[in-house]
Structure 1
Amino acid sequence: MAGNKQIIIAIDKDGYVKAEVSGVPGPDCKKYLSLIEEIVNGKATDETLTAEYYQQSTSSQNDQTSLNQQNG
């Protein structure tokens, strides 16, 4: 469905976090990074932009971000 925004956060057994934002046109997905960092109490360490990121803003895009959790 067009217009649905979705954030998927996966945490593996070692505490490695991977987050994916979809349904947000163009670079606007980066606005969600601070929210994701707050949710997992971590900082972004790696970012992968998919081909959809570069498509017209009327289409969905994905932004996958890896974060390091801060323990304590």
Structure 2
Amino acid sequence: MNPPAQIIVLIRPDGTVSAETKNVTGTACLDYIRLLEDLLGATTTDSSYTEDYTRSAATNIQEARNELGWS
């Protein structure tokens, strides 16, 4: 089974916020940026893709099959 999507948010003492998605593949992570901007009333000043960006849904399906012992 695939791990659930996560958003890790860090709020620094100076009020700046950083966030990182985990277990979100492809461009779906961009939806989380927009969601966080709306929730925080903020604008993104810098972003970069994580390693999960390059993983495909097919990779996730294969990993799930492997975990279940399916070939």
TM-score exceeds 0.5: yes
**1:40-61 deviation digits (Å, cap 9, x = unpaired):** 22000100212331122334xx
Unaligned residue ranges in structure 2 (runs of 5+): 61-71
RMSD: 1.7
Unaligned residue ranges in structure 1 (runs of 5+): 60-72
Greater Cα radius of gyration, structure 1 or 2 = 2
Q: Percent same amino acid at aligned positions? A: 36
CA contact 1:3–1:24 (8 Å) conserved in 2: no
Larger strand proportion of the pair: 1
Q: What secondary structure, in the 3-state scheme, does the structure 2 residue paired with 1:21 have? A: strand
Tell me the TM-score normalized by structure 1. Answer: 0.68
- The 1:23/1:52 distance shift into structure 2, 3 A limit, reads closer
Larger helix proportion of the pair: 2
Moved >3 Å (runs of 4+): none
**1:5-62 deviation digits (Å, cap 9, x = unpaired):** 1111111000110011122221111111111012222000100212331122334xxx
